[in-house]
Chain A
Amino acid sequence: MTRTRSEDRRGYFFVLPTVIVLVVVAVYPMILAAWISLRRVVIVFHEDHFVGLSNYAFLVRDPRFWTALGNTTYFTVVAVIIELLLGLGFALLLHTSFRGQKLFRAAILIPWAIPTVVSAKMWSWIWNPEYGLISRTLPNSDINWLGMPGYAMHAAILVDVWKTTPFVALLLFAGLETIPTVLYKAAAVDGASSWRTFFFITLPLLRPTLVVVLVFRTLDAFRIFDAVYVLTGGGPANTTETLSIYAYKMLMRSGDFGYGSTLAVATFLCVMAISAIYIRMLGMPSRSQRS
C-alpha cells in the first residue's frame, strides 16, 4: 500500500464530523454537567451560583441517594444474573437443530423489537391487581405486585429480563457459532458426556462472548430508567427508585439542577467504577477491531 502523507491527512476529513458531533453532544455536555453539579441552579427562581462541593457533601449524607444506589445495584445484579443464565439456555436452544427452529428465532426477536416503555405498560397490565392476568390466574393471592415493597422491584426485574434476555441469547448464540464443531466431534469420539462437553468445551470457549455480554448488560442495567419509571415511578415508598429516576425527579420535578446534576454525575461515576472493576478483573473486553 503506497499512500502519501497528504492523503493520510485527508482521511481525517472523513472522521472529523463524527468527532465534532460526539464532542458537542456528548463529551462537552458531560463536562458541563460536572460544572453544574458544583453550582446551585434553580431555574424557576433564577438562581445560579457557585457552591463548591456542597452538593457532594449533601449527597454522601442523603439517605435517599444511598437507597437509590442500593436499589440500582440490586436491580442490576439480579437482572444480569438471570439474563445471563436464561440467555445461555435460549442460546443453547438456538444452537440445537429441531423442527420449528426458524419460528423460534423469529419469536425471540419480538421482546427485543418492542419499545421498553410499551413492554413496561404491557406488564403493568398483566400485573394489574384488579383485572390483570396474574391476579386472575392466581385468584387466592391478593398481592398488589406493583404496589407492595419487595414485590415491585422483582416485577421490574422481570420486565427487564423479558425485554433483554433475547438480546443476550442472540449474542451468546453468535459466540456458540464460532466454536469449531470439530471439538464437539472429538469429544463425542472420546465418549465425553454432554455435561462434560458443556463445561470443558462450550463454557471456556464462550468465555470471551460471556465477558462482553456481562459488561454490556451490567452497564446498561445500571442506567435503567424507562422500564422502572413507567412500571412503578420509583414507588412504592421509593423502593424501586433507581439512580437515574432519582436524578430525573430532582432535575425535572423539583427543578433543582445543581443537586440533580450531582446525582447524574454520581451515576456516571458509578458506571466508570464498574467498568474499571471489570477491566481489572476480566481484562479489556475483546470487542476490539479486527484489522
Chain B
Amino acid sequence: MTSRSPLARAGLMLAVFAAMSFCVGPFVFQAITSLTPDRDIARTGLPSTLTLDHYASALAGRPFMHVVQNSIVVSSVVTVVSLAIAAPAAFAIVKLRVRGKRLLLAAALAISMFPPIATVSPLYLALRRAGLLDSLLGLTIPYTTFALPLALWILTGFFQDIPDDLYLAARIDGCSMFSAFRKVLLPLAMPGIATAAILTFIFAYNEFLYALTFLSSPDKRTIPVAISLFAGEHTEPWGDIAAASIISTLPLVVVAVTFQRKIVRALTAGAVKG
C-alpha cells in the first residue's frame, strides 16, 4: 500500500480533508461563535476580537451549571442502575445454561429499537400517579428502557471474550456460582464494564424526548432540554447557546476521543461478530 501514484495520493488527501471538514467543521464554527462578541455576530459573524462573555453569561447569568449538574446526576444514576442489573444477566447469558437467553437478547434488541414515543403516554400517566413527574429520579425510570438493553448487549460481548475455563476453574476451586461471578468474572470484565458505562452515560446524557415530556420546571431541565429552549429576550442568543453547547459537549468529545478504540469496539462488536 506504499506505492501510490501522486494523483491517487492527492485524491486520497482531498477525500480525507473533505471528510474531516464535514465532521469537525460545524463544531469548530460553533466554538468560534462562542468566542465572538455579540456585535460581530450581528455584523460579520466572524470575530474581530475574542471574548469570553458568552461563557461568563452561561456560567453565571443563567442557571446553566445547574442544568449540567441535572444531566450528570440523571445519567450517572441510570448508568449505575443499568449496569448493576445488566452485568449479572450478561454473565448468566454467556456462562450459564439459561434457557431463553437468545430470546432475551432479541427482546432487549427489539425494545431498544422501538420508537420511544410509543411509551410516552402510559409512562406519563404512571409517573403522574406515582408523583414522579417533574422529578429527576422519576426520569431515570423511563431511561432504563434504552439504557438496560444497551448495557446488556455491550456486556454480553465483553463476557464472551472471557474464556469459559476461567469460570470453570473458579467453580472447581470451590467458588459458588455467585462468588465466581463476583470474584473472578466481574474483575476481568472491568474494562468492558467501564466502556459500557461510558456508552450508557453518553446515551442518557443525549436523551431528549423523555426529558422534555416528563420534566416541566426550568430548574429540573437536562442539557438537551435547556439548549432546545434557550431563549433570549428579543433574538436568539446565538453566542450564549454556542458557549453552553461547547461547555456541555466538550467533556463528551474529550472522552470519546480518548477512549475511541474501546468505544468503537463496543459499538461495532454486535454488528460484525455474526
14 contacts between A and B (CB under 8 A): A14-B91, A19-B104, A21-B85, A29-B126, A30-B114, A114-B249, A118-B248, A122-B30, A162-B26, A243-B115, A247-B117, A248-B209, A287-B274, A289-B105
Q: In the docked arrangement, what's the CA distance between A114 and B248, Å?
A: 9
- Distance between Cα atoms of A14 and B89 in the complex (Å): 5
A121 CB to nearest B CB, Å = 6
Check if A113 sits within 8 Å of B255, measured CB to CB. yes
**Chain A nearest Cβ from B192, distance in angstroms:** 15
User: In the complex, which residues of chain A have a beta carbon less than 8 angstroms from the beta carbon of B104?
Assistant: 15, 18-19
Distance between Cα atoms of A244 and B129 in the complex (Å): 24
A25 within 8 Å of B by Cβ? yes
> How many B residues have CB within 8 A of the partner chain?
97
Q: Which of B1, B23, B119, B149 contacts A110 (CB 8 A)?
A: B23
B57 beta carbon closer than 8 Å to chain A: no
Residue pair B253, A114 in contact (C-beta under 8 Å): yes
Question: Could you give, for residues 261-291 of chain A, a 1 whenever the CB lies within 8 Å of some chain B CB and a 0 otherwise?
Answer: 1011101100100010000000000111111
* Interface residues, chain B, with chain A CB atoms under 8 Å away: 1, 12-13, 15-16, 19-20, 22-24, 26-27, 29-30, 33, 41-42, 44-45, 85-86, 88-89, 91-94, 96-98, 101-102, 104-105, 107-109, 111, 113-126, 141-142, 144-145, 148-149, 152, 156, 160, 168, 177, 181, 202, 205-206, 208-209, 213, 223-225, 227-228, 230, 238, 241-242, 245, 248-249, 252-253, 255-257, 260, 263-264, 267-268, 270-274
- With A10-B177, A112-B256, A125-B242 already in contact, the answer to whether A17 and B115 are too (CB < 8 A) is no
A5 to B117, CA, bound (A): 42
Number of chain A residues whose Cβ lies closer than 8 Å to a Cβ of chain B: 105
Contacting pair B114 A21 (CB below 8 A): no
B contact residues around A225 at 8 Å (CB)? 116-117, 208-209
A117 proximal to B (CB < 8 A): yes
